[in-house]
Amino acid sequence: MELKQETPDLSAYLAADEAVDHEHPVVRRTAARLAEQAEDSYAYARLAFEYVRDEIPHSHDSGDPRVTWRASDVLEQRTGICYAKSHALAALLRAEDIPTALCYQKFDVVHGLVAVRFRGAWHRQDPRGNKPGVDAQFSLDGERLAFPVDPRSNELDYPVLYAKPHPAALGALRSATDLPHLWQILPTAL
């Protein structure tokens, strides 16, 4: 699949916004702590991915009823679904000047992940969180996502790389009162 930038302006994939709030002190402190352990930007990206994947439980897996949507809230409250965890990873990467896009897949509902730009190309990464049957890994040499799509089941990879969260995903997060409510209003398509 050929990934397509929503905008040709690469600086858009470094910008902060209301969800990817990488200028927030919580994001900055977390990024600085991870950067101390990394010898280069690739190592930093891998550490940030593993931090979000492993240290911030997916709300559904943990049973946490809280709904987070801002990167800073995800990092502070240590919970989020795929969209929110993607916002957190994008913020951590953008805080260290690594172009990061938000992207999506369609299953029964829309699933969120990110793409990072290294070596002149975009590489999708899924910080959802591992569990039995799910083994997402940071990779620039072939995708290691949480869920491969099955086109025979009408599943698909959306090729667009968004600079900001898609309004359907962000709208669901912002309007949900709790996790059970969110499951009722998750978008089924973009």
Please check whether residue 153 lies inside any domain of the structure. yes
**pLDDT digits over 140-179, tens only?**
999 999 999 999 999 999 999 999 999 999 999 999 999 9
**pLDDT digits over 108-119, tens only?**
999 999 999 999
Q: pTM above the 0.95 mark?
A: yes
**pLDDT digits over 42-63, tens only?**
999 999 999 999 999 999 999 9
Amino acid in the structure at residue 81 = I
Would you place residue 20 in the very low, low, confident or very high pLDDT band (cuts 50, 70, 90)? very high
Q: How many domains, the chain?
A: 1
Please check whether residue 67 lies inside any domain of the structure. yes
Please say whether the beta carbons of 111 and 82 come within 8 A.
yes
Q: How many other CB atoms sit within 10 Å of the CB of residue 127?
A: 29
Task: Tell me what pLDDT residue 163 has.
Answer: 98
Please check whether residue 104 lies inside any domain of the structure. yes
Task: Tell me what pLDDT residue 1 has.
Answer: 85
Average pLDDT on 91-113 reads 98
Which residues form the domain of 12? Answer: 4-185
Please check whether residue 78 lies inside any domain of the structure. yes
Closest CA to 15 of 90, 117, 113, 111: 90
Please check whether residue 171 lies inside any domain of the structure. yes
Please say whether the beta carbons of 83 and 70 come within 8 A.
no
Q: Write the CA distances from 177 to 127, 137, 156, 172, integer angstroms.
A: 23, 31, 29, 10
Please say whether the beta carbons of 187 and 172 come within 8 A.
yes
Task: Tell me what pLDDT residue 6 has.
Answer: 97
> What is the token pair recorded at 171?
């709208």
Q: Write the CA distances from 47 to 34, 69, 96, 143, 185, integer angstroms.
A: 7, 21, 12, 17, 32
Instruction: Give one word for 161, left, alpha or beta, with left for phi > 0 and alpha for psi -120 to 50.
Output: beta
**pLDDT digits over 22-35, tens only?**
999 999 999 999 99
**Residue 70 CA from chain centroid, whole number:** 11
Task: Tell me what pLDDT residue 165 has.
Answer: 98
**pLDDT digits over 144-153, tens only?**
999 999 999 9
Percent of the chain with pLDDT over 90: 98
Please check whether residue 190 lies inside any domain of the structure. no
- Residue given tokens 């397509």 in the structure block: 4
Please check whether residue 26 lies inside any domain of the structure. yes
Task: Tell me what pLDDT residue 170 has.
Answer: 97
β-pair type (110-118, 160-161):
unpaired
Please say whether the beta carbons of 126 and 85 come within 8 A.
no
**pLDDT digits over 117-134, tens only?**
999 999 999 999 999 999
Percent of the chain with pLDDT over 70: 100
> What is the token pair recorded at 123?
């590489």
Please check whether residue 144 lies inside any domain of the structure. yes
CATH number of the domain that 158 lies in? 3.10.620.30
